[in-house]
Amino acid sequence: MSEHTPHKISIIGAGSAVFSLNIIRDICLTPRLQGSLISLMDIHPDRLEAASTLCRRYASEVGINLQIEQTTDRRTALLGADVVINTALAGGHEWLREGWQIARKHGYRFGGSLHIMHDEPFWINFYQLQLFESIIQDILEICPDAWYIQSANPVMGGITHLARKYPQAKIVGLCHGFTEIYEIARILGLDDRDQLTFEIPGVNHFVWLTRAYYKGEDVFPLLDEWIATKSRQYWASQQGGSLRPKQIDLYKRFGALPIGDTGTDGGGSWGWWYHTDAETEALWQENPEKWWKDYFHYTSQGVEQIRQIGADMQNPVTAHFKPELSHESIIPLIESLLHDIPRVMIVNVQNTGEYVPGIPRDFAVEVPALVSKRGIQAVQTAGLPAAPLAYALRDCVAPWNLELEAYTQHSKQLLLEVVMMDHWTQSEQQARALLDEILSLPYHNVLREHYQ
């Protein structure tokens, strides 16, 4: 048994075997968390059973004492929980893709369409917001002292809404997009991540590298040299990845480098002017349609791989998932909160202290924070340059504030205004046609009733 007090960690949406297994792997490699009770919860019994079996096998193979329970009842999972991790997606990818097909028909395309042609469109956000609220309400009733960690999207809108409506809850959002900085450092020949410090402020999926130091030396001169001497050769030899032409162009325009989903050709494919047509996308080596096709193929392959690993009782799970830390931030954050191990981590919290100057105080921002038993204490940043801040307010803050108001007021008219704010909307008729066709889908009864 661990010499430390065992804790209960509940994972909502644990049927994602890869995600759950990564959490179990990191817990197994975190001595202070050994002996913990891990409650795996999912509404899909078959997926839950497969994930739970793999997790138990993994813990057994590495010889770690973990108690792993499984349940399809959320309230059971929350009973006595110290930490609740939410990774659940209501509706699934099919609802997402069918909505996209309708949007394409009405003239919408990838490229800064953050509430339509994105994996956070308004018709998925609705179900996620309902799920987030129901979980928080259960937590406040069953385990009110538990920390709620949201890794499920939309993190920006979700943390903003929950922090406003449930200020008594202990909530934080996590996203691993900022970790692209480590890949960028590797490309620049800076291999020791422990020697790298940085500041990447913004709002979730819209964050910008404004400061970076390696062994105390400014990284931006190295980046400028790489752009001048190596970028074209790199782009000619590799499609996709980090430090792509669009990222570099944005860096030259704004003086800050877009990180993670901010500048990918997936995600929201921001900004729209790189995606006006196929020829323009080719010029910038952008192809969001292919990016998403590859992403969905990768996820389906992952599901099949997990199925095969689970069915293969002759070979250990550790042969496929080495006992190495995943570098995800969930388990280090939990260790810091429960065992008072102070760490500076990148989190999503309400901007109460103007940690990103210019973003409203009641809106969620992504910033560094000191995490310990005392809680999550966000760190003041120098903020964003003028242009990224202006775009953050226009493309992220304003539409989300409007969508949250539409959600709260059950207002179809305000939801229409969210669609009207999209760059690809050319007329009210177009926006109405899109909204009405989405709402008319037979499985959107709850969505339709909410906005009537």
Domain segments of the chain as ranges = 8-176+301-374
| 147, containing H or E segment | strand 147-150
Helices (H), 29-146: 45-61, 74-78, 93-105, 122-142
What would be the CATH architecture of the domain defined by 8-176+301-374? Alpha-Beta Complex (3.90)
Q: Collapse the DSSP code of 94 into the 3-class scheme (helix H, G, I; strand E, B; otherwise coil) and give the result.
A: helix
Q: Collapse the DSSP code of 303 into the 3-class scheme (helix H, G, I; strand E, B; otherwise coil) and give the result.
A: helix
The single residue listed with the structure tokens 């260790």 is 335
Catalytic residue among 42, 119, 261, 265: 261
Give the lowest-confidence range in 145-154, 285-294, 320-329, 348-357: 320-329
Mean pLDDT of the chain: 95
Look up the pTM and report it: 0.96
Tokens of residue 224, six digits: 């400028």
Catalytic residue among 4, 44, 176, 320: 176
Q: Write the pLDDT tens digit of every residue in 159-197.
A: 999 999 999 999 999 999 999 999 999 999 999 999 999
Binding residues for substrate: 153
Binding residues: 153, 175, 205
73 classed as catalytic: no
Binding residues for Mn(2+): 175, 205
Q: Write the pLDDT tens digit of every residue in 317-366.
A: 999 889 999 888 999 999 999 999 999 999 999 999 999 999 999 999 99
Cα gap 106→425, rounded to integer Å: 9
Tokens of residue 206, six digits: 């819209």
Q: How confident is the model at residue 241 (pLDDT cuts 50, 70, 90)?
A: confident
261 classed as catalytic: yes
